[in-house]
Structure formats: structure tokens, C-alpha cells
Amino acid sequence: MVVDDDTQWLSDLQTWLAHDGYEVVGISRGEWVTQAVDFQEPDVVLLDLNLPGADGVEILAHLQRRHPKLPVIIMTAFGNVDIENRVRAFGAVAYFDKPFRLDALLRTLRLFCHPESAA
């Protein structure tokens, strides 16, 4: 599951990940994430921190309480070391500053899930 309010970035990530064999659900609104996770049961969530009307850290904390084994990878264009430390303290398994290299994301994703074509 990829969560980002930037629809072009979201679309690009969905395309890149699908091309690599991943089944991707895209969510553009932070307030939809927890319900979508309950319904979709993703292997991993790639979550943008800065979402209008929703705090990414609060979403992360909620997901960790409700789905403690669900890996959440944080991405943000407005990060720094303090934010990275904060999200890791809330349970994020990885952190990426945007823009990031797709190959780095793919290496991280392979730790938690496998593309459909490899299944």
C-alpha cells in the first residue's frame, strides 16, 4: 500500500512497483489509511508523513497499535534526523527522504514482501 497526497508521485510509485511485480494499492488521503489497511491487509505500507488533514506520525502510531506486525516505511520531502528518529521510535521499519532512488526502496521492500511474479 502506498499513501501519498501527491497524485503524480503516487501514480509513478504505483507504476514503478507494479512493473517490478508488486500488487499496489494507492491511497491519496490520510484519513482513509487505517480503514484501507483493515480491508486490504497489505504486506507493507509506504506512508508519506505530510498529508493534508492527517498527521503521518499519528497514522503510524495508530497502525502500530492496531497492526503491530505490519511494516511501515516512511517517506517525506521535509525530513531531517529528528523526524527520522521520531518515526523510528514509533515503529517505522525504514525511512526515505524524497526524492529517493527506486532501487533503494525495492531493496527495502524485498525484506518485507515479495513481488507477485516471484510468488
Write down the mean pLDDT value for the chain.
Answer: 90
Q: What are the residue boundaries of the structural domains of the chain, listed by start?
A: 2-110
Distance CA 70, CA 36 (A): 13
Q: Vertex 64, ends 58 and 20: CA angle to 5°?
A: 100
As a whole number, mean pLDDT of residues 62-75 equals: 95
Q: What pLDDT sits at residue 115? A: 66
Q: Is residue 29 within 8 Å of 56, Cβ to Cβ?
A: no
pTM of the model: 0.90
**Residue range 9-22, pLDDT digits in tens:** 999 999 999 999 99
With cell 521492500, the residue in question is 109
**Assigned architecture for domain 2-110:** 3-Layer(aba) Sandwich (3.40)
β 72-76/94-97 pair status: parallel
As a whole number, mean pLDDT of residues 29-40 equals: 90
From residue 63, alpha-carbon distances to 23, 44, 82, 88, 89 in Å are 20, 11, 21, 13, 14
Q: What pLDDT sits at residue 118? A: 43
